[in-house]
Structure formats: C-alpha cells, structure tokens
Homo-oligomer: A and B are copies of this chain.
C-alpha cells in the first residue's frame, strides 16, 4: 500500500526547463500527497541515475544533486507511509534485467501482494523490499521476454494486479503511464510544446504552464517518448471507482480531477451539507486549512457570515518541543489559536473536511468555547468513515475509526458539541458528480470495488 504522488517528464528538447528540476517542482507541488520519502530516477543517455531517501522533496534534493542528474527523461515519487522503515519503501524501484534497466513508481496498493510474492518466489524470485512496486517490476520483467514490447508485457500482467494503482514505468527509451481498470488512482497526461508529462494531479501543470491533455483512462497503457504519445489499450468497462477521498482531502484544491475542480467539489459538499443539516447559527468558521472550501459552501448556502476564527501556527513542525502532558491537559496546544472577536458570544458552526479518529473534534470545540462561543455546532463535509481502506486512502485499522463503533450522537457527546452532522453518501456523490458505479466510497459504505 502506498499513497503517493507521481510525476514524469519526457523532455523533447524544445523546453528550456531542465528535466530534473521540472520533476523536483512537480513533486514539490504534490508534497501534500506524501511527506515520508522522495525519489527521482533520471535517464541520462540510456543510463539511469537515481536518488531515493526518506524525507521531503526539499530534504532529499538540493541544487547540486539536481544539476548532476540532468537527462532527457525521468520519473519521480513522493511517498506517504505509516511504516517505520520508510526507506525500504522509497521509490522508484530501479532494476536491471534481460532487457536492460527499468524504473517503476507506484501510487496505490494491491490486495493480493502476498499471493503474487509467493508465486514469484516459487519461480525463483527474491525480494529486497516488501514493496508492491518491486513485485510489479518483477512481474513486468518476467513477462517482458514473452512479448515484443514492454507495453504488451504490462498488458499481460495487469489482470494479475488486484488493487488500486497508477503506475509509471521508465525504460531507456520511453516512459509508460498505467491506471488500473477501475481508475481508482488518478494520472493525468500533460504537454508543453513537444515535452510530455504524467502527473497525479493537475495543480503542477498550472504552475509549469503545462497543458492538460487528458486523464489516462482506466485500464489504459500510455507511452510517451520522442515520437509523442501512444495509447496501447482501451478497456471499455462501465464500472469505475475513482477514490472519493481525492475530492475530500488528498488532492490540492486547485487540481482538476475527472473534469471537476477539487475546490468546487468541496464547496459543493459544504453547500449540500447545509441543505441536509442546517444550523441556527451566527457564524461559520473553518478548520485550517482543509475545511475552508466546504465551510465556504456551507456559509453561502445559509447566507451566514464565514469567519476566520482559527490561527494555525505556521512554524509548527516536527522539531518543535511538544508541551508536556500536563500542559496539554491544561489546554496548551501551541498549534491552533482562536481569534476571539470572531466567535465570542456567538452561535458558531465549525466545518471540517472529514472526521477520522475524532481527536481533533474535542480540541476544536474546547478552543471555541474557551474563546466565548455560545454554541458550537460541528459539521463534517464527508460521510462517516467506517471502514478501512486497502488502497492507501486512509492508514487506519477499523478500530481507530471513530464512526466504526460510535453513533453520531455518541461522538457529539464525546466532543462536547451542541450538534454534529455528517454529509450523506448521496450528498457526496452529488458533489463529486458521480455514482456508486464511478466512485470508490468503500470507506463510507463498505462496498469495496475489488475483492
């Protein structure tokens, strides 16, 4: 399992921006997708040069390193991981095999990892990581010699991969982008003059002035190289299952996913939530920063003022010396503060993007009451998260998900809110302009698109 950001560039020489720097910026703009490890592999005249490490983009790469990694093509990866030995999972996986070198980067996860590993081991494969990307690289390399092209090899092994994935495969002559047949993970094709790109999100395309061509289609295999773009497989299944959490939280608000701007989808979630669960209140406030879009939609729908009540300390990071337990118990957070004038004496609705463990909820309600709020109503712009995600959507097992074992009323009491409401699944579908046949909402509904 990996929640990741992918970026690739095939630099067809008409673009003045360096390949390594472009990938660096691509990964940097998707840092929110994974802060645990970063890797870039560059094709230098047929030789692969790579660096992958635990840490954020700015920690792993610097100017010197980027300048030594120049080449005409490359792929990059940022990783979110909940494992302790992060480095083992850093990607791309770079291998040597009969047909030369191959680099593989994966966003997503397989549910039949163990089964595939066993099967390959019985055929003599050895593994140096427990990473799905390594398994996929071995599968491709083994299929490769049975086919004339690597695209055919990939097409051959895709039916074996049970799970959600977007995949980048770089060989000395091309870069290939692949999505699973349900299109659970995003991958978007871009173009700037003759140079070609793959990215998990469109946000970086805006920044680099790259034109969005289209999404890689579910089940499609797309190759980019000096000759342009080639598509190798079109699967015409009706069923799709794009992860709804991409709209709710994972993607950057300025990204466009399946034709819908993420910010707009979030504002719609707030708007619909206002219709489903209005509140008799004086002001709407948001939880920085991910709750803003939904709060904006909620406020507009009810024609109530949207106020900036929470101050998030931007210097807060993992080097910060945490308050002692005693200090925390006595209310010291140092991370969030409230601007009193916004809420004092008022009936407040606080809107957040989603609720997973429920720990933040209690803190928010306390901070607002301490600041003098007369009433505190909490509104969550997503349905109750009741089920684990096996595809990288959330990291938690079922028991950590508060909604898996508490009713909305019980949670409301636990966090001390005057009222609490979640967006309905129906509302979510409406906001994402999707259906249960186009969206994966398994974490809310328990209906998994893959066995």
Binding site for B on A (CB under 8 A): 16-17, 21, 24-25, 28-29, 31-32, 56-59, 61-63, 66, 93-98, 102, 117-118, 121-128, 130, 137-138, 141-142, 145, 203, 206-209, 252-254, 261, 263-264, 289, 292-293, 296, 300, 305-308, 311, 313-315, 317, 319-321, 323-324, 326-327, 330-334, 337-342
Contact = CB atoms under 8 A, between A and B. Distances in A.
A69 B125 CA distance: 27
A327 B137 CA distance: 35
Contacts of A142: 124
Contact of A97 (B127, B323, B342): B127
B315 A28 contact: yes
Contacts of A141: 124, 126
Given A95-B127, A137-B126, A334-B29, A296 B307 contact: yes
A28 B334 contact: yes
Contacts of A314: 289, 314
Nearest to A314: B314
Q: Which 8 A-B pairs have the closest CB atoms?
A: A95-B126, A98-B121, A97-B126, A58-B319, A96-B127, A124-B142, A254-B339, A31-B315
Given A124-B125, A130-B96, A263 B59 contact: no
Total copies of the chain: 4
A25 B327 CA distance: 11
Given A122-B98, A341-B263, A341-B264, A320 B58 contact: yes
A95 B128 contact: yes
A66 B321 contact: yes
Which of A25, A121, A314, A339 is the most central at the interface, judged by chain B CB atoms within 10 Å of its CB? A339
B121 A123 contact: no
11 contacts: A58-B317, A58-B320, A59-B319, A126-B141, A206-B338, A209-B332, A263-B339, A263-B341, A296-B308, A300-B305, A314-B314
A11 to B, nearest CB: 14
B121 A57 contact: no
Nearest to A333: B207
Contacts of A32: 315
Contacts of A331: 209
Given A207-B332, A300-B305, A315-B57, A93 B128 contact: yes
B330 A209 contact: yes
B321 A63 contact: yes
Contact of A334 (B25, B123, B264): B25
A228 to B, nearest CB: 23
Contacts of A206: 337-338, 340
A321 B58 contact: yes
Contacts of A98: 118, 121-122
A255 B296 CA distance: 25
Nearest to A17: B327
Contacts of A95: 126-128
A123 B127 CA distance: 15
A319 B206 CA distance: 23
A138 B126 contact: yes
A121 B102 CA distance: 13
Contacts of A17: 326-327, 332
B16 A326 contact: yes
A143 to B, nearest CB: 10
A306 B124 CA distance: 60
Nearest to A102: B126
A338 B254 contact: yes
Given A17-B327, A61-B321, 14 more contacts: A17-B326, A21-B324, A28-B313, A57-B315, A58-B317, A59-B319, A66-B321, A95-B126, A96-B126, A97-B126, A124-B142, A206-B337, A207-B333, A209-B330
A5 to B, nearest CB: 12
